[in-house]
Amino acid sequence: MNRIKTLGIRDQAAWVRSRYPGFRCDVTGGLLTCRGRLRPGPMNATYEVVIQYRVGTWPKVYVAGDQLQPVESGGKIPHTYAPTEPCLFYPSRASWHSDMKLSHTIIPWLSLWLTFYEMWRATGEWHGGGISHGAVKELEPAA
Amino acid sequence: MLLAEPQTHTALPSNRAEWLDRHLVRVCILSELTPTQFRNAEEKYHAVGDWLAADGGLLAVFAPEVYPQGSMLLGTTVRPYGQSEYDLDLVCQLHWCAQQPPLTIYDWVHERMAANETYLEMLEKLKRCLRLNYTGSFHLDILPACPNDGNGSIVVPDRRLECWMHSNPKGFAAWFLERCRLRDQLAERMMKGSVEPLPSAVPSQYKFPLQRIVQLMKRHRDIYFSGGRDIARSVILTTLAGGFYEGQRSLSLALEGVLDGIHYALEAIPTVPRIENPTHPGENFADTWDQAKYERFKSYIRNFRVELKAVLNPSLTEQRMGLEKSTERLGHLFGSGRVNEAIRIEANELNERRNGGKLGIASGGVLTALSQVGSAAVPRNQFFGR
């Protein structure tokens, strides 16, 4: 039934390097870690970002250091799992599956997320849409 | 009619000036008459003109002619600070009447307006003009006038001074619209030697950078002086902007150039300068300035220039703060309500591209139009989480 052709970890790394020559990718024990810088547009800051992925799990993204800040101290940043960890997609096989390239999905979504994050910091409103955690009872397993 | 081309953007801005050009246009559009309000105002002033000129009316023999003047003619209206109503100025020009005492002319126009029951209810007498209040939308200020010579020059009654005051709204608008020309269009015109007719009014999507500059200067004036308009009168802002504009296409860079020009010119003049009417030498628009007012005007220009430059060329620290810092500075200039609304419009446009599959990403991670060479499509996604 499952017709997904899972991309191997080294293929994923190669795609990231070819699309984003500034990114450094390492594979250790089946875990891919890509580090690089993203600046979504001319008005935006530059962010140090980390993408981690192991086949069979959801990719994770982190924004390094304390670059992401809530508007009020102790407050929540919209669409994050943790203060440094944006939620880029609704974790279901329809949103992301392992034949998708990180370079063509996760990284652009992160750029887009950072754009809306800065708009939110600037105006107090999240314009990027999305699904809230509360709307989902149980996460599907990763593809 | 002389019109700028409407702007459509297939690409996303690739540098700060391009971003600011679009952002400032959004701020202007949020500050001016909507197309519906604009058409409505035009209908109203045509109706006023028809009423004043109607056969059998008191003024019919003077062949009155009603036309817009000021910001409506120049295409530089902005909603007044803290109000929902726009000031729109009309001239009611009578003919063969300059021999009459000024107050008589004023009273005749008033009498004719008051003869209409609808107008009577919303009519108000002001110093030089008659005001029709269209509550919640705009008011039309009707300035009775007589011709002065053949060049569009008129005289208007001043009720307080009981004398004729000189004015030339058509001449001023002709000068301003000539100054609106873009550098490349100017070159073209010099080659062809053609003369464009004067536009009556300019719909918003066709505005020139210079018209936007005047709107932005008026908007910042309203913020900086909390609605006070006597120090930086619109006619002074329009004259200075028109004088220093050099035909640039980029709104933000043109605005920077105009502010630089005004700043350096004024810094070189320690005492109150004359600001001459470009179409009527001898008339000083700054005749009400004293040293204190002049200093406040200079500080308004200085503040505007410093904030704008900080958005165009931020320090490294401010660059690291991203959009937030620029938005804060733009909020100081034009009011955070309108600036935030402009960001919301930008976000909507970005989401339209995103949902329409037209958003791309370049190799550095910069979001771009999909049509851009080397860009890859950004697939649709739904951000998750609280």
Q: What are phi and psi of B146, to 5 degrees?
A: -125, 150
Cα–Cα–Cα angle for B210, B215, B220, rounded to 5 degrees = 125
Is the pLDDT assigned to residue A32 strictly greater than 90? Answer: yes
Quote the mean pLDDT of chain A.
89
Q: What is the mean pLDDT of each run of 10 residues along chain B (386 residues)?
A: 58 93 95 86 90 90 90 90 85 85 89 95 90 90 87 80 84 92 66 41 72 97 89 95 95 98 97 94 91 97 98 96 97 97 96 91 83 82 80
Tell the residue number behind the tokens 């140090």, with chain if given: A48
Is the pLDDT assigned to residue A41 strictly greater than 50? Answer: yes
Give the separation between CA A50 and CA A35, rounded to whole angstroms.
5
Q: Which two tokens stand for residue A27?
A: 């594979």
Inspect the interface and report whether the beta carbons of A111 and B366 lie closer than 8 Å. yes
DSSP strand E in chain B: where? 65-69, 86-93, 123-125, 130-134, 138-147, 154-158, 163-167, 359-361, 367-369, 376-377
**Cα B78 from chain centroid (whole Å):** 6
Instruction: Say whether B157 sits in a helix, a strand or coil.
Output: strand
pLDDT tens readout for residues A47-94:
999 999 999 999 999 999 899 999 888 889 999 999 899 999 988 888
Q: What is the pLDDT of residue A134?
A: 59
Instruction: Say whether A86 sits in a helix, a strand or coil.
Output: strand
Q: Which amino acid is at A76?
A: K
Inspect the interface and report whether the beta carbons of B381 and A40 lie closer than 8 Å. no
Tell me how crowded residue B113 is: count the other CB atoms within 10 A of its CB.
22
Q: What is the pLDDT of residue B148?
A: 84
CATH code assigned to B15-31+205-342: 1.10.1410
Q: Compare B191 and A8 and report the one with higher pLDDT.
A: A8
Q: What is the pLDDT of residue B196?
A: 40
Chain B, 18 to 57: residues with Cβ < 8 Å from chain A are 18-19
Inspect the interface and report whether the beta carbons of B347 and A87 lie closer than 8 Å. no
Substitution target from A43, A95, A101, A111 for chain B, most B beta carbons within 10 A: A43
The pTM of this model reads 0.90
Residue A49: its H or E element:
strand A47-53
Q: Which amino acid is at B278?
A: P
What's the whole-number mean pLDDT along residues A119-135? 86
Give the separation between CA B366 and CA A112, rounded to whole angstroms.
9
Give the separation between CA A124 and CA A67, rounded to whole angstroms.
17
Burial of B77 (0-12, 13-18, 19+ CB in 10 A): buried
How far away is chain A from the Cα of B304, in angstroms, using its nearest Cα? 19
Q: What is the pLDDT of residue B96?
A: 83
DSSP strand E in B60-207: where? 65-69, 86-93, 123-125, 130-134, 138-147, 154-158, 163-167
Bridge partners for B284 per DSSP:
B276
Q: What is the pLDDT of residue B251?
A: 96
Substitution target from B16, B26, B324 for chain A, most A beta carbons within 10 A: B324
Chain B, 185 to 224: residues with Cβ < 8 Å from chain A are none
Given a contact cutoff of 8 angstroms between Cβ atoms, the answer to whether B51 and B119 are in contact is yes
Inspect the interface and report whether the beta carbons of A123 and B364 lie closer than 8 Å. no
How far away is chain A from the Cα of B255, in angstroms, using its nearest Cα? 19
Contacts of B12 (CB under 8 A, 6+ apart): A41, B353, B367, B368, B369
Give the separation between CA B362 and CA B372, rounded to whole angstroms.
8
Domain ranges, ordered by start, for chain B: 15-31+205-342, 33-167
Residues on chain A touching B18 (C-beta within 8 angstroms): 42
Give the separation between CA B209 and CA B188, rounded to whole angstroms.
18
Instruction: Say whether B144 sits in a helix, a strand or coil.
Output: strand
- Helix pair angle (B234-244, B251-267), 10° resolution: 100
Q: Which two tokens stand for residue B88?
A: 């729109």
Give the separation between CA B129 and CA B136, rounded to whole angstroms.
20
Residues B33-167: name the CATH superfamily: Beta Polymerase, domain 2 (3.30.460.10)
Residue A24: its H or E element:
strand A24-28
